[in-house]
Amino acid sequence: MGKRGSKPKFTDVTCPNEDCEDYGKVNNGNIVGNGTYKTKNGKVHKFHCKTCGKRFTSNSNTILHDLRTNEETVFLALKMILKGMDLRGTAEILDVKLDTIRGWLSIAADHSGKVNKVLMKDLSVDKVELDELWAFVKKKHFHEWVAKQRWVWLSFDPKNKIILVAHLGGYDPKMFSMKS
Ligand SMILES: [Zn+2]
């Protein structure tokens, strides 16, 4: 016994908050453990950054790390998706799992400010378009997003406002059958 007294130090864990002045710093003493919880994938540590107050988990830290190390691929994936490729197709071409693409999208949505800058520059899309897309992602409405993405894309194109009207209604055969 007697193992419980001192709190473990998490020197290899870094703060995932990009606005934090200790963002990404290891061995800095700003990260404190905040307990654990169990998931089907194992135990997840909860952390707390003393510098910025951000709470996060070992889970989120892993995804962020993954995003950083694969930044080029992540942006390539985002561009493909924005250009109309579906998630499955994107995953296949980039040789990653569908869930990985979804994970990237979620993280990208959380960092939309930074991601938008790159995408707006590279794809000449505007912020309104991107915000609309992130909104779908944040609600985890991936399927809905894929189904609507072309629609959203067209509808928010300021040069094609007319198309918005045409797509908004859609075509519902029931609207035209007058059953009595
Ligand atoms: Zn922090």
**Per-residue pLDDT reduced to its tens digit, 17-55:** 888 999 878 888 999 988 888 766 667 788 899 999 998
Backbone phi, psi, residue 45, to 5°? -85, 140
- Distance, CA 118 to ligand 1 centroid (Å)? 24
- Distance, CA 53 to ligand 1 centroid (Å)? 6
> Residue 138 above 50 pLDDT?
yes
pTM value? Answer: 0.47
- Distance, CA 110 to ligand 1 centroid (Å)? 16
> Residue 8 above 80 pLDDT?
no
Contact 69, 100 (CB under 8 A): no
Bridge partners of 43, per DSSP, are 38
Among candidate residues 53, 49, 40, 39, the one with its CA nearest the CA of residue 13 = 49
Q: pLDDT confidence of 9, banded at 50, 70, 90?
A: low
pLDDT digits (tens, 9 = 90+) for 143-158: 655 555 544 444 444 4
- Distance, CA 51 to ligand 1 centroid (Å)? 5
Q: In angstroms, rounded to a whole number, what is the distance separating the alpha carbons of residues 106 and 73?
A: 15
- Distance, CA 82 to ligand 1 centroid (Å)? 31
> Looking at residues 110-130, what average pLDDT do you find?
77
- Distance, CA 55 to ligand 1 centroid (Å)? 9
Q: In angstroms, rounded to a whole number, what is the distance separating the alpha carbons of residues 10 and 7?
A: 9
- Distance, CA 32 to ligand 1 centroid (Å)? 11
Contact 140, 169 (CB under 8 A): no
- Distance, CA 145 to ligand 1 centroid (Å)? 32
